Each structure stands twice: as C-alpha cells, then as structure tokens.
Amino acid sequence: MIPLRSTQEETVWQRVVSIDEWLLLSVRRWESRLLTRLMQSLTRLGDPASWICVGLALGLAGGEGPHYCALLGTAAGLALAVSQPLKRLCCRKRPSSGIVGFAALSDNPDAFSFPSGHTAVAFAVAVAFAGQAGALGGLTLFLAIGIAVSRVYLGAHYPLDVAAGALVGSLCGVAAKLIVAQYPLVKLVGYATLAWSRSPSLS
C-alpha cells in the first residue's frame, strides 16, 4: 500500500507540474516588445531599491507617513524572512533551468523559483496597506497583481510560484498590521528593514 500511495502522490504532483508549465508557456505566447518593456518595468517596481525609496519617502512625509513606512518595512521584512528560507528549502529550479529551450526575459538573481519573493513582498505590503486612508491600499494591490503577472510573463517564475508568493505575502501582511498596531516599538524594526532589505534577493 505504501509504494502505491507514493506512486499516486507522485503522479498527482507530476500533473500539477505539467499544468504549471503549460500555463507558463501559454502566458509566453503574449510576448511582444511593448508588453515586455511594461512587464520589465513592473518587475523593477518590485525590486528592493524601489521599496526602499517608497519607504523612505513615506517616513519623511509627516502625518501618517511614518506609520505607513513601519507597515511597509515590517510587511516586507516578514515576507523576506519567510519566502527566502522556503526557496532554499524547496530548491525548485527556475523555468529557464527546468524547461529545455526556455529563456527568461530578465536576469534571475538566484537559482530558485518557489515561492516568488517579488510577489510575496508586494502582496505583503498591499495587505498591510489595505483599509488605510486614501487610495494607498488599492494602488498597492494593483501594483502587487502587476508584479505577480510580470514574474510569470518574464519567465522568472511558474504560476504556482507566484500563487504561493501571494499567499505567503498576504499572511505576512496581516501579521504586519497586527504587529505594528499592538507593538508600536516594532515600528523601529520596520524602519531598519528598509536598509536590511538591500542585501537579500526579492525574486
């Protein structure tokens, strides 16, 4: 019974991987010069330098700015702390290494694909900002979705990587809101994260 169960589980996983690859290759059919430039721009908006600039701008803005800065830094820090070890634990190869003849449309900072760090951080920030005054929550959610799509379009990640990143990020965003609300001193951690997040890869 045990070998049979193992074989069945392997077959299910193989089907999941096959569907994942099919979805990735289907998205690649959208490829065009204009769309590639747009997706590369969206991915760059999810890079560490972009989040650092946004966080610093919020921190210096006055009013609720420092609070938003703390939310951003805490959410991003939690997403990094969860997604990066998961990547090293799962060790799923990037599509350009796992699919023969497939080439990414942007540089990959590391060899691992699951989950998507860009997506995790983007959704963590979006969920942390959800319900805040003004259009900040909606804008960051729109940006998070765009970043997620860009990671698949550019061939940096499979759709499953991005879905997992969105889930991880959403949970981290909820945790960040609770932490900043309950423990104001943790805001300092949020600020510090903006500097620390220069070194780890978000992808």
Does residue 179 sit within a domain? yes
Does residue 32 sit within a domain? yes
Does residue 201 sit within a domain? no
Does residue 203 sit within a domain? no
Does residue 88 sit within a domain? yes
Give me the residue label for tokens 């942007």: 106
Q: State whether residue 112 is helix, strand or coil.
A: strand
**Residue 157 corresponds to which tokens in the numbers above?**
């990640």
pLDDT of residue 2: 40
Longest dimension (CA), the chain: 64
When divided into structural domains, the chain yields a total of: 1
pLDDT of residue 39: 93
- List beta partners, residue 93: 112
Contact 137, 126 (CB under 8 A): yes
- Dist. CA 203–CA 192, nearest whole Å: 20
- List beta partners, residue 112: 93
- Dist. CA 155–CA 24, nearest whole Å: 7
Q: At 147, which CATH number?
A: 1.20.144.10
In this structure, the number of other CB atoms found within 10 A of the CB of residue 14 comes to 10
Does residue 86 sit within a domain? yes
Q: Which are the contacts of 94, defined by CB distance < 8 A and separation ≥ 6?
A: 104, 108, 111, 112, 113, 156, 157
Does residue 74 sit within a domain? yes
The pTM score is 0.81
Does residue 172 sit within a domain? yes
Domain that holds residue 83: 2-196
pLDDT of residue 132: 73
Select from 103, 121, 116 the least CA-distant residue to 51: 121
Q: Which are the contacts of 24, defined by CB distance < 8 A and separation ≥ 6?
A: 95, 99, 152, 155, 158, 159
Spans in the chain with pLDDT lower than 50: 1-5, 190, 198-201
How does pLDDT run across 96-152, given as a tens digit for each residue?
Answer: 887 878 888 888 777 788 999 999 999 999 999 988 766 888 889 999 999 999 999
